[in-house]
Amino acid sequence: MSVADTEFDRLFANNDDPWAMRQRWYEQRKRALLLASLPRPEYQSIFEPGCANGETSAVLAQRCRRLLCYDTAERAVALTREKLASVPHASVEQGRLPGQWPVGPFDLVVINELGYYLDAADLARLIEACRASLSDDGQVLACHWRAPIQGCSLNGDAVHQHLGDGLGMASLLEHREADFILQLWGRDPRSVAQHEGLR
C-alpha cells in the first residue's frame, strides 16, 4: 500500500523543512549533482512530482522554460509556491500520484525521493503515466535514498530497478553511492558529445 496523504501532511504540520533540505550538506551536494547530471543546458518543459518545499524546484527552474511542480501535501504546495513566487514560468499544483498525473508533453520528468512512497502497483502506474507524458526525446531523472525507509515496501535500488525495466529507455547516466542512486534515462540514446558532433 502506498503511503497515505495524511503522513505527508503530518510531516509538514510543524516543519517547513522536514528532510532538512536547506541545512544538510548531504542534500545540498545531492542537489548539485542532480543539476549537473542534466545533459541539456535548457529544457522546454520539466515536471517535478513530489516537490516537497521547493528547494529542488528552485534549481530546476533555472534550466527550463516551463516548470510544473506537484505535491500531495497542501503545506508543501504553499511552500513551493512561495519559493517560486518570482519565477513566472513555474507553476505548482496539488495532486495525488499516480492517479492525478498532468497532461504533457514534458521534456524531463524528475522523480526525486518519491518512488519508495508508492507500492509496486502504484509505481508501475506512475511509470506508465510518465512514459505517456514524455516528448519524443524526453528524459527521466531519478534520485533515491538507498537505505530502507520505515513504512515503505521498496528501497531506492528497487525503485530504480522498476524504473529501468518499466521505462524501456536508454540509460544515459548512473551515479551510485552508499547513500543514494542517481540515474537518467532518455528516448534519444545519444550522448552530449554525440549531440555536439564530437563523436
Residue linked to cell 532518455: 186
What is the Rg, in whole angstroms, of the alpha carbon atoms belonging to the chain? 16
pLDDT at 74 over 70: yes
- Encode pLDDT of 129-169 as tens digits: 999 999 999 999 999 999 888 888 888 899 999 999 999 99
Give the H or E element holding residue 121: helix 120-133
Q: With H, G, I as helix, E, B as strand and everything else as coil, classify residue 144.
A: strand
Residues spanned by the domain of 180:
5-195
Residue 65: per-residue pLDDT: 98
The average confidence (pLDDT) of the chain is: 90
Residue 3: per-residue pLDDT: 58
Domains in the chain, number: 1
Could you tell me whether strands 170-176 and 180-186 are parallel, antiparallel, or unpaired per DSSP bridges? antiparallel
Could you tell me whether strands 67-71 and 46-49 are parallel, antiparallel, or unpaired per DSSP bridges? parallel
Question: What torsion do the CA atoms of 91, 92, 93, 99 make, to the nearest 10 degrees?
Answer: 90
Task: Give the pLDDT mean for 42-62.
Answer: 95
C-alpha to C-alpha distance for 155 and 145, rounded to whole angstroms = 7
- Identify the CATH number of the domain in which residue 56 sits: 3.40.50.150
- Encode pLDDT of 183-196 as tens digits: 999 999 998 999 88
Residue 1: per-residue pLDDT: 39
What's the N-to-C CA distance of the chain in angstroms? 46
Confidence of residue 44 (pLDDT cuts 50, 70, 90): very high
pTM of the model: 0.92
67-71, strands of its sheet edge to edge: 90-94, 67-71, 46-49, 106-112, 134-145, 180-186, 170-176
